[in-house]
Amino acid sequence: MVGANDNEEFVQEFLVESTENLDQLDRDLIALEQAPGDEERLASIFRTVHTIKGNSGFFGFAKLGALTHSGEHLLGRLRDGKLTFDDRVTGSLYSMVDAVRAILRTIETTGNEGDHDFRDLAQRLTAVAAGEAVEPAPPVPVQAETPPAAAVATPSVPHPSPAKPALEKPPAADRSVSESSIRVDVGLVGSILDLVGELVLARNELRSIETTDPAVLAAAHRINTVTNALQETAVKTRLQPIEHVFSKFPRTVRDLAVSCGKEVQLSIDGGDTELDRTLIESIRDPLTHLVRNAIDHGIEPPEVRAARGKPQVGRLALRAFNESGQVTIEVEDDGGGIAVSAVRAKAVARGLVAADEAAALPDERVLQFIFEPGFSTAAAVTSVSGRGVGMDVVKTNIEAIGGTVDIHSRPGLGTTVRVRVPLTLAIMPALIVRSASERLAIPQAAVRELVPLHADRESDRGGPRIEGLDDAPVIRLRGRLLPVVFLDEFLGLRPQTACRDEGTVVLVRVDDHEFGIVIDGVRHGQPGAAGVGESASLSTVVVKPIGTLLSQIGLYAGATVLGDGGVVLILDLRGILRAADLPAGREADETSPPAATSDADRYLVCRTRQGRRIALPLERITRLEHVAAADVQPLGDRQVVRHGAGFTAVVDADRLLGDEAMVGNAMKLVVLGSDEGAVAVAVGQILDVLPAESQLQSTAVSTGVSGLLALGGMATEVLDVSRGLPW
Amino acid sequence: MVSLVPCLDACSFRVATHCFAVDSGCVAEVLHSAKLTPVPLAPEAIAGLLHLRGTIVPVIDLGHRLGLPSMEAGSSRTNLVLRLGDDCYSLLVDEVLDVQTIPLERIERPTAAAGHAAADAVTGVFAAETRLIHILDPERLVQSLIKQRPTPFVRHGVSHGG
């Protein structure tokens, strides 16, 4: 006797199995369309429909039974050679598959068949089977991709191999995979992974016990080996072939091509590339969107293609492959490509870039504007550029899972969109870095390089040093100025960074932003050592969620437990980028040598301690310093700060301007000149380095000011340093 | 003996001089002297993270949250790990007392006098023989922290001009 609960379980199984069968049907129908004479394929389709029919009878789903019965009848006539395979037949069979899907979905959500009425369809199937002339099937509605019926790990169903001699060969080769695999609840796999993580920690503890007992050592060694193998295997259980997403596309492509009036040949490569199942779900929609775009806007109608001397049938290629620890998925079409000039014009029109800048931008950069929110929704671009809507959404979705999207276009030849996603979100390589007393993890996928800083300002060898201003520190690397964040200071681990001179810069790239995260470097005892081994190490970490309470901080993507049992937070680089509000990296003075030839008309903009906005000519400035007030010693009515073996005179900017000098406990010094001639101007805050936007206007200026300049859109007084300072 | 009146199985604990209790059904574990990992820039009431057999558990410093300065040194305090739905949280308390069955009818509405920082998380008060026990709704406690977003980001730059 089958109890109610048992029955429910059976129905679930039926739904899962049927949904898989329908996917198989889609593939088989498309294959049959291309090779109408393939008897084995036809037999496979017949069996699938027959199975669904049988099961629906068993569970008492009458409508499903009736519909599949009509379909089976039609297929029977085809199989018996009483009917030939043509558009009418395919059309009605596709309609049947859609209808069956709709009913299955209703059963899944409501438990019964719902009030679908497919009698018309059943009649049409019967009519087609009888060889009667019928109205052509209405165009198959393009369906939104729906998630699979149930969250189950299913094995790969490889695309059917070339037709084999059709004889009494029960379930075709493609079904045999299911016999060698089992369905496992995803939650169960998750707990296995957690337990393995625990085991790894226990193993590490075991390893740290000091013993000379050979028996214990041998056992520990074996446990170690087994644990490693177990961890590797357990991780693999979460991976699924990308085929699960790709398998939907033959049908999607066919439907889209039909509705757009285009001819498209889809080729799929690398369907066996594996990805974490949660990621597989996340890339489904973005990929569908890209495929849709390629057909709708990329591939030209057959006439146009013919006129351009291209094969009439457009080519769409989906490729997946592993590349440096990530999975790359390419969607490539041989359509018209993107009209870069139209994108450029649109970017200017939308104020994203100035016209002269836009003209200078390389095409590759211009194409990136397509990912700007709302950019491509404009009809003008859609029609001209041949690229559709919602690329920003694609980008957002892919980035949400730690991936990247980029686009390449060859005008007239086609477009390639390349999506890169991590293999899994659950386990990833990460750089474990140290900052003050804390260890933190940086996802390795974002790390470009590690650069040790050099304290020795005069030295040309070794790494770069921190330049720029306190509020906007940068490093200069191969001609580029990249903003940096001092991790210790940023996270409040130290009131003021200790890494300015001897830290290590972890250069990361997030979206299109490159910036440096300064971590603690190799310190104490090994000055000049180029290695960063002590401050950063690479490790494969299991990512654990940290919950709303902590993810609301916006700086952490999760946490992980290291081999020594320590918990380490994983930095959310996108969050850091946002929170630190970093300026974009820029080319350092274009192509000119780093010495900044244009210093002559650039100014350091500061705020005095009284709050006045002043500027000093950059060419006169030798360095910037941050000192505590206690370091400044009064010397008669003057002030000096000790510097190396000698002293540097300090003069307060406000006093130069004829105001009262404010007393504070820390100040910024702008040092002009060098050695004995050096004078430091004390200011409250250093704002920026800006190019002059006007001529120096020297009329009607106040004490200590040489003139007025427009800097950063504001009138700014330029401190008079030309005649030496009155000290 | 089976009690016929509706009751609450309450796990009571002490924070400073005050007694609190939560439904013992959501208590997953009591841990003494666990190692906490600090979370930089977290709200102040977050004492850190706890690693509990594969799960990362945020630890809420209840004393801080309730405005009751703890009398114990940090290390000697106790983690009361609660399971709320799929999530785990830990309350850092001074001492876990006991589990007792409290008839619901003897739980009174909290008085306004309980007006401390997390007053809205206190759902009732029970006068035990020797002390007053505040019944806490851990769900509300956590929610009150989630709503309390950290102040919008200010860059932690050096202080300017003093």
CA A656 to chain centre: 52
B147 contact A CB<8A: no
Residues on chain A touching B41 (C-beta within 8 angstroms): 491-492, 553, 555
pLDDT over threshold 50, residue A173: no
Number of domains in chain B: 1
Query: What is residue A583's DSSP assignment?
Result: P
Kindly report the nearest CA distance between residue B162 and chain A, in angstroms: 5
Portion 481-510 of A in contact with B at CB < 8 A: 489-493, 495-496
* Count of other CB atoms within 10 angstroms of residue A4: 7
Kindly report the nearest CA distance between residue A191 and chain B, in angstroms: 9
The whole domain housing B110 covers: 7-147
pLDDT over threshold 90, residue A537: no
Range with the poorest average pLDDT among A188-197, A219-228, A372-381: A372-381
Phi-psi region for residue A556, left (φ > 0), alpha (ψ -120 to 50) or beta?
beta
Here the CATH number for the domain that contains residue B121 is 2.40.50.180
Residues on chain B touching A471 (C-beta within 8 angstroms): 155, 157
Substitution target in B39, B44, B52, B139 with the highest count of A β-carbons within 10 Å is B39
Output the CA–CA distances (angstroms, integers) from residue B120 to A18, A318, B66, B124, in the order listed. 51, 55, 11, 10
* Count of other CB atoms within 10 angstroms of residue A232: 10
| The two structure tokens encoding residue B107 | 């739980």
- State the Cα angle at A49 between A274 and A71, rounded to 5°: 135
Taking the C-alpha atoms of residue A497 and residue A503, their distance in angstroms, rounded to an integer, is: 9
Domain assignment present for B2: no
Query: What is residue B156's DSSP assignment?
Result: -
Contact A568, A440 (CB under 8 A): yes
Which of the four pLDDT bands, split at 50, 70 and 90, describes residue A4? very low
pLDDT over threshold 80, residue B33: no
List CB contacts of A687: < 8 A, sequence separation 6 or more: A469, A471, A605, A606, A607, A613
pLDDT over threshold 90, residue A722: no
Portion 368-407 of A in contact with B at CB < 8 A: none
| The two structure tokens encoding residue A321 | 């492959």
Residues on chain B touching A550 (C-beta within 8 angstroms): 39, 42, 46, 49, 58
Q: What is the pLDDT of residues A659-699, one digit of tens each?
A: 877 776 677 888 887 666 678 888 888 777 777 877 788 77
| The two structure tokens encoding residue B81 | 């790990």
Kindly report the nearest CA distance between residue A207 and chain B, in angstroms: 19
pLDDT over threshold 50, residue A137: no
Alpha helices in B60-121 (DSSP H): 62-66
Is A549–B54 a contact, with Cβ atoms under 8 angstroms apart? Answer: no
Taking the C-alpha atoms of residue A30 and residue A246, their distance in angstroms, rounded to an integer, is: 14
A546: nearest Cα among B64, B140, B50, B20: B50
B47 contact A CB<8A: no
Question: In the predicted model, what is the mean pLDDT of residues A29-47?
Answer: 82
Which long-range contacts link A462-465 to residues 24+ away (Cβ below 8 Å)? A462/A528, A462/A530, A463/A505, A463/A530, A464/A505, A465/A501
Domain assignment present for B156: no
Is A548–B160 a contact, with Cβ atoms under 8 angstroms apart? Answer: no
Q: Going edge to edge, which strands form the sheet with A556-561?
A: A536-542, A427-435, A438-443, A567-571, A556-561
Q: What is the pLDDT of residues A431-476, one digit of tens each?
A: 889 888 889 999 887 888 888 887 554 444 556 777 766 667 888 8
Q: Which of A496, A581, A668 sits opposite B155 (nearest CB)?
A: A581
Which of the four pLDDT bands, split at 50, 70 and 90, describes residue A593? very low
| The two structure tokens encoding residue B12 | 């009571």
Q: What's the pLDDT score for residue A589?
A: 46
Rounded to the nearest 10 degrees, what angle do helices A87-110 and A4-34 cross at?
160
Q: What is the pLDDT of residues A633-655, one digit of tens each?
A: 877 767 888 766 677 888 888 88
